[in-house]
Amino acid sequence: MKIFNLNKRAINVTLSLMAIILVALYSLCGDSCTYLQGTLLGLDLRWAGIAFMVLVMAASFLKRDVLLLTVLATGVGAEIYLVSFQIYHGVYCPYCLLFGAILLLLFIVNFRMVKVRWATLGLLGGFLMFLIFFEGMVTPAYAGDTVMPSFGSGPVRVRLYTDYFCGPCSALEPQIAKSIEEMVEKKMIRITFIDTPIHKETTLYARYFVYICGEQKDFRKVMSARHTLFDAARNRITDVESLEAYLTKNGIRFKPIDVKPTFDVLTSYLKEEGIRSTPTLTVKKGGKKETYVGVPNIAQAVADLQSAQKR
């Protein structure tokens, strides 16, 4: 029995650590930033998940079997709600689903028929808690005045959805910048940059990108300004004064303008194309639309588009 208990605790700790690593990977975005977020009583669900798994490990170490089973059952109840939420909205987060699978496995490992009452109470409690207090978001929406300009006059319509604080987006733009510039200058494409506010700080950056475009019409200089904004994001600049100073230091000119009238247009783009993650690229050509998500897919799509246009 002691050996069994030791093995069970080892399994509990291992699975809990795996779940915490999953949450960390989700926070780092992986290959794309998925816009499926939520809070519970104002607490970001990612932090709630980490705290939950720490509690699981603590209960396991302290040998509080009833508490452990109740906590796990509460988590399973919450996951039932969260999976239902994803099914309802048609948006699926692989990290969330894997987290739920680990949680379910933990519940199975620790389940005992003699404690079925506690398990049932936990399941109901977790489901009701999330039903009442969970606030989820599946579609990016701008909270302030923002606008996204378009460039080029080619027959192919391209929209690039990025977030300045998304690591993959930051890695992507230098890879495709020259190709985009060439296709715009040769009138192969018309591209629209849509700064997608997955991270709350991006709304500030989107506004200043508009200010820059209002002052600077040269496309190459606009692209250079975008690179500077990505650099500022990597430096974790998040306040107006520091961002303005950084732009000025790098020779980027900007002029505040009224951008509110474009709010509805940008929101309609996000909803129309069902944008769930960044980076995302959509290409409309000859009445057909293709959507590409993630750095490798987008980089290849841009390369293929450039090659096709040259033929």
**pLDDT digit string (tens) for 79-133?**
999 888 888 777 777 888 899 999 999 999 898 876 788 888 888 988 888 888 8
* 287 torsion bin: left (phi>0), alpha (psi -120 to 50), beta (else): left
Chain region(s) in the chain for CATH 3.40.30.10:
150-310
In the chain, ranges of CATH 1.20.1440.130 domains: 2-137
pTM assigned to the model: 0.71
pLDDT higher at 21 or 217 = 21
Q: Please report the pLDDT score of residue 32 as a whole number.
A: 62
Neighbours of 121 (CB within 10 A): 14
What is the topology classification, in CATH, of domain 150-310?
Glutaredoxin (3.40.30)
230 and 173 in contact (C-beta within 8 Å)? yes
- Whether 278 has a pLDDT exceeding 70, the answer reads yes
d(CA 291, CA 298): 9
Identify the residue with better confidence: 308 or 90. Answer: 308
pLDDT in tens, 168-224: 999 999 999 999 999 999 999 999 999 998 888 998 999 899 889 888 888 999 999
What's the CA gap between 247 and 229, in Å, rounded?
A: 8
- d(Cα 120, Cα 56) in Å, to the nearest integer? 18
pLDDT-derived band at 271, boundaries 50, 70, 90: confident
Domain 2-137, CATH 3.40.50.720 — does that match?
no
Beta bridge partners of 136: 38
Residue labelled with tokens 């991006």: 202
- The whole-angstrom separation of Cα 52 and Cα 100 is 12
Comparing CA positions, the residue from 196, 90, 213 lying closest to residue 140 is 196
Residues 237-258 have a mean pLDDT of 93
